[in-house]
Amino acid sequence: MNVSLNWLSTHLDLGGKSIKEIDDLLTFAGVEVEGIETKGIVSEKIVVAQIKEAVQHPNADKLKVTQVDAGEGQLRQIVCGAKNYQVGDKVPCCLPGAELPGGFTIGETKMRGVESKGMLAAAVEIGLPAGEDGLLILPEDFPIGKPVKELFESDVLLELEVTPNRPDLLSHFGMARELATLLKTPLQPLDIPTRSTTPAADITLEAPDACPLYTAVKITGVTVKESPAWLQQRLESIGLRPINNIVDVTNFVLHELGQPLHAFDLAKLSGGIVVRHAKDGETFTALDESEHALTPDDLLISDNSGAALAMGGVMGGLHSGVTETTTDILLESAYFTPQGIRRTSRRTALTSDSSYRFERGVDPQGVLPASALAVKLILETAGGSAEESTQVAGEAPGLTKPVALDTAKLDQLMGGSISLTDAEEILTRLGLEKLADGTWNVPSFRDDLQRHIDLVEEIARVHGLDNVPSRFLGAFVPASPVDLAYDADMILRRRLAALGLYECQTIKLISDAEMVDALPLRPLVDGDVIRVKLPLSEDHAVMRPSIVPGLVTSAARNVRQQAKSLRFFEMGRVFRNAGGGKAKDQESETLALLVGGATAPAAWNQKERQADLYDLKAVIQAIVPNIPIRFLPRERDGFALGCDIKAGDQNIGVFARLKPARERELDFTSPVFAAELDLTKLRKLLAGIDHVEDLPQFPGSSRDAAMEVPATLPNADIENVLLKLGEPLLESFECFDVFADPSGEKLAADRKSVAYRFHYREPSRTLKAEEVDAAHQKALDALTQKLGVKFR
Amino acid sequence: MKEQIPAIQTEALARIAGANDERSLEEVRVGVLGKKGTLTLAAAGMKDVPKEDKAAVGQLLNAARTAITSALEEKQAALQDTADQAALAGIDATLPARAVATGALHPLTQIRDEAIGILRRMGFALADGPEIEDEFHCFDALNTPADHPARNEKDTFYFDSGKLLRTHTSSVQIRTMETAKPPVRIIAPGSAYRRDEIDATHLSVFNQLEGLYVATDVSLPDLKGTLEYFLHELFGPQTEVRFRPHFFPFTEPSFEIDVKLTVKGQAPRWIEVAGCGMVDPAVFESVNASRKDNAFDPDQVTGFAFGMGLDRLAMIRWGIKDIRLLIENDVRFLRQFA
How many inter-chain contacts (A to B, CB under 8 Å) are there?
A: 242
Total structural domains within chain B = 2
Q: Summarize pLDDT for A608-657 with one digit per residue, the tens.
A: 999 999 999 999 999 999 999 999 999 999 999 999 999 988 999 999 99
- Is B132 in contact with A543 (Cβ distance < 8 A)? yes
Q: Are B134 and B164 in contact (CB under 8 A)?
A: yes
Of A342, A456, A603, the CB nearest to B253: A456
Q: Rounded mean pLDDT of A472-483?
A: 89
**Which CATH number is associated with domain A482-685?**
3.30.930.10
Verify that B189 and B297 share a domain, yes or no. yes
pLDDT computed for residue A407 by the predictor: 94
- The confidence band for A105, taking pLDDT boundaries of 50, 70 and 90, is confident
Distance CA A235, CA A231 (A): 6
Which of B159, B224, B246 lies nearest to residue A532, judging by beta carbons? B159
The yes-or-no verdict on residue A732 having pLDDT over 80 is yes
Q: Does A457 touch chain B (CB under 8 A)?
A: yes
DSSP assignments along A229-283, one per residue:
HHHHHHHHHTTPPP--HHHHHHHHHHHHHS--EEEEEGGG--SSEEEEEPPTT-E
Provide mean pLDDT across the span A335-349. 91
Q: A99 or B206: whose pLDDT is higher? A: B206
Last residue of a domain, which of B29, B59, B88? Answer: B88
What pLDDT does residue A128 have?
78
| B312, B187: one domain | yes
Same structural domain for residues B38 and B120? no
Distance, CA of A435 to CA of A479 (rounded, Å): 50
Chain-centroid distance, C-alpha B305 = 30
CB contact under 8 Å between A504 and B203, yes or no, is no
Q: What is the rounded CA–CA span in Å between residue A689 and residue A680?
A: 18
Neighbours of A784 (CB within 10 A): 14
Together in a domain, B199 and B249: yes
Contact list, B330 vs chain A (CB under 8 Å):
557-558, 561
Phi, psi of B191 (to 5 degrees): -85, 150
Q: Which residues contact A746 (CB under 8 A, 6 or more apart)?
A: A739
pLDDT band at A154 (very low <50, low <70, confident <90, very high): confident
Chain A residues 467-526 with CB within 8 Å of chain B:
468-480, 482-483, 486, 490, 493-494, 496-509
Same domain, B228 and B179: yes
For residue B108, the chain A residues in CB contact (below 8 A) are: 505
CA-CA distance, A55 to A415, in Å (whole number)? 75
Decide if pLDDT at A706 tops 90. Answer: yes
What are the start and end residues of each CATH 3.30.70.380 domain in chain A? 701-791
Half-sphere exposure of A676 (CA within 13 A, CB side): 25
Residue B260 included in any domain = yes
Do A557 and B126 count as a contact with CB atoms less than 8 A apart? no
Fold of A2-40+155-183: Phenylalanyl-tRNA Synthetase; Chain B, domain 1 (3.30.56)
The span from the CA of A321 to the CA of A303, in Å, is 13
Q: Using 50, 70 and 90 to split pLDDT, how confident is the model at B78? A: very high
Average pLDDT over residues A147-173: 90
Does the global pTM surpass 0.90?
Answer: no
Interval A746-779: pLDDT, tens = 999 999 999 999 999 999 999 999 999 999 999 9
* Residue A286 to chain B, least CA–CA distance (Å): 22
Whether ipTM tops 0.85, in short, is yes
* Confidence tier at A288 by pLDDT (50, 70, 90): confident
User: What pLDDT shows up at residue A779?
Assistant: 95
pLDDT at A16 over 80: no
At position A597, the amino acid (one-letter code) is: G
Proportion of chain A above pLDDT 90, given as a percent: 78
Task: Mark yes or no for CB contact A451/B302 under 8 Å.
Answer: no
A532 vs B: CB within 8 A: yes
The residue-averaged pLDDT of B148-169 equals: 89
Beta strand pairing call for A213-220 and A390-394: antiparallel
- Work out the average pLDDT over B321-338: 96
Q: Does B52 touch chain A (CB under 8 A)?
A: no
Residue of A489, A550, A547 whose CA lies nearest to A521: A547
Mind giving me the DSSP string for A402-461? -B---HHHHHHHHTT-S-HHHHHHHHHHTT-EE-TTS-EE--TT-TT--SHHHHHHHHHH
Tell me, yes or no, whether B46 lies in a domain: yes
**β-pairing verdict for B184-193 and B125-126:** parallel
Cβ–Cβ contact A165 with B under 8 A: yes
Percent of chain B with pLDDT over 70: 99
Q: End-to-end distance of chain A based on CA atoms, in angstroms?
A: 89
- What is the pLDDT averaged over residues A150-171? 90
Quote the pLDDT of residue A353: 94
Answer whether A482 sits within 8 Å of B130, measured CB to CB: no
Q: What is the mean pLDDT of residues A177-183?
A: 91
> In chain B, which residues have their Cβ closer than 8 Å to the Cβ of A161?
none
- CATH for A407-467 (3.30.70.1450, 3.30.56.10, 3.30.420.40, 3.40.50.2300): 3.30.56.10
Shared domain check, B27 and B70: yes
* Chain A environment of B280 (Cβ under 8 Å): 453
Main-chain phi, psi angles of A763, to 5 degrees = -60, -25
Kindly state the average pLDDT of the residues A191-204.
Answer: 91
Q: Same domain for B64 and B123?
A: no
Tens digit of each residue's pLDDT (9 = 90 or more) over A255-268: 999 999 999 999 99
pLDDT value at residue A438: 92
Q: Which CATH architecture has domain A701-791?
A: 2-Layer Sandwich (3.30)
| Max mean pLDDT range (A109-113, A115-119, B307-311) | B307-311
Q: Which residue has the higher pLDDT, A392 or B267?
A: A392
Within 8 A of A494 by CB-CB distance, chain B residues are: 105
- Could you tell me where the DSSP H helices lie in chain B? 4-18, 22-33, 38-44, 51-88, 107-121, 135-138, 171-179, 220-235, 281-291, 310-318, 325-328, 331-334
Q: What's the DSSP call for residue A524?
A: -
* Residue contact A587–B130, C-beta within 8 A: yes
CA distances (Å), origin A346, targets A50, A349, B155: 60, 5, 11
Q: How confident is the model at residue A717 (pLDDT cuts 50, 70, 90)?
A: very high
Asked if A558 lies within 8 A of B329 by C-beta distance, the reply is yes
Question: Do residues B55 and B145 both lie within one domain?
Answer: no
Per-residue confidence band for A724, with pLDDT thresholds at 50, 70 and 90: very high
Write down the architecture of domain A46-151 according to CATH: Beta Barrel (2.40)
Q: What value does the mean pLDDT take over residues B155-172? A: 95
Q: Domain containing B198: what range?
A: 107-337
Question: B255: which chain A residues are within 8 Å (Cβ-Cβ)?
Answer: 465
**What's the pLDDT at A643?**
97
Nearest residue of chain B to residue A487 (CA atoms): B113
**Which pLDDT does position A463 carry in this prediction?**
93
Give the mean pLDDT of A226-254. Answer: 94
Residue B205 contacts A, CB cutoff 8 Å = yes
As annotated, the residues of chain A forming the CATH 3.30.56.10 domain(s) are 2-40+155-183, 407-467
Residue A565: pLDDT band by 50, 70, 90 thresholds?
very high
Q: Which of A165, A450, A451, A502 has the most B C-beta neighbours within 10 Å, making it the best mutation to test the interface with B?
A: A502
The answer on B37 and B136 residing in a single domain is: no
Which of B147, B186, B220 faces A415 most closely, judged by CB atoms? B220
pLDDT at B48 over 90: no
Q: How is A539-554 classified by DSSP, letter by letter?
A: GG-EE-S-SHHHHHHH
A442-458 pLDDT, tens digit per residue, is 999 999 999 999 999 99
Provide the strand spans (E) within A60-206: 64-69, 76-80, 90-94, 99-100, 104-105, 109-111, 114-116, 119-120, 155-161, 197-199, 203-205
In tens, the pLDDT along A620-632 reads: 999 999 999 999 9
Domain membership of residue B31 (yes or no) is yes
Tell me which of B88, B123, B148 is where a domain ends.
B88
Q: What is the pLDDT of residues A419-443, one digit of tens each?
A: 999 999 999 999 999 999 999 999 9
CATH number at residue B298: 3.30.930.10
Q: In A297-352, where does DSSP find H-type helix?
A: 338-348
**Helix, strand and coil in chain A, % to nearest 5:** 30, 30, 45
Place B50 in a pLDDT band, splitting at 50, 70 and 90.
Answer: confident
Q: How far is B229 from chain A (nearest CA, A)?
A: 8
Asked if B132 reaches chain A (Cβ–Cβ under 8 Å), the answer is: yes
Looking at the fold, whether B190 and B286 belong to one and the same domain comes out as yes
pLDDT for B284 equals: 98
The mean per-residue pLDDT over the stretch A115-134 comes to: 84
For residue B136, give how far its alpha carbon lies from the nearest alpha carbon of chain A (Å): 16
Grade residue B318 by pLDDT with cuts at 50, 70 and 90.
very high
Nearest to A346 among B152, B252, B335 (CB): B152
Chain A CB contacts of B246 below 8 Å: 30, 32, 163
B116 and B80 together in one domain: no
pLDDT classification of B49: cutoffs 50, 70, 90 = confident
* pLDDT for residue A130: 72
- Percentage of chain B modeled with pLDDT above 90: 70
- Interatomic CA distance for residues B232 and B241, integer angstroms: 8
- Beginning with the edge strand found earlier in the chain, give each strand of the sheet holding A64-69 in spatial order: A76-80, A64-69, A46-56, A90-94, A119-120
Please give the CATH number for the structural domain made up of A197-394: 3.50.40.10
Residue A366: band (very low, low, confident or very high) from pLDDT cuts 50, 70, 90: very high
Residue A575 and residue B132: Cβ atoms within 8 Å?
Answer: yes
Going by pLDDT thresholds of 50, 70 and 90, the confidence category of residue A100 is confident
Contact A533 B124 (CB under 8 A): no
* Mean pLDDT rounded to a whole number for chain A: 93
Q: pLDDT at position A175, please?
A: 96
- Chain A CB within 8 Å of residue B117 CB: no
Residue A417 to residue B221, Cβ atoms within 8 A: yes
A-proximal residues of B, 307-336, CB under 8 Å: 326-332, 334-335
Residue B128 forms part of a structural domain? yes
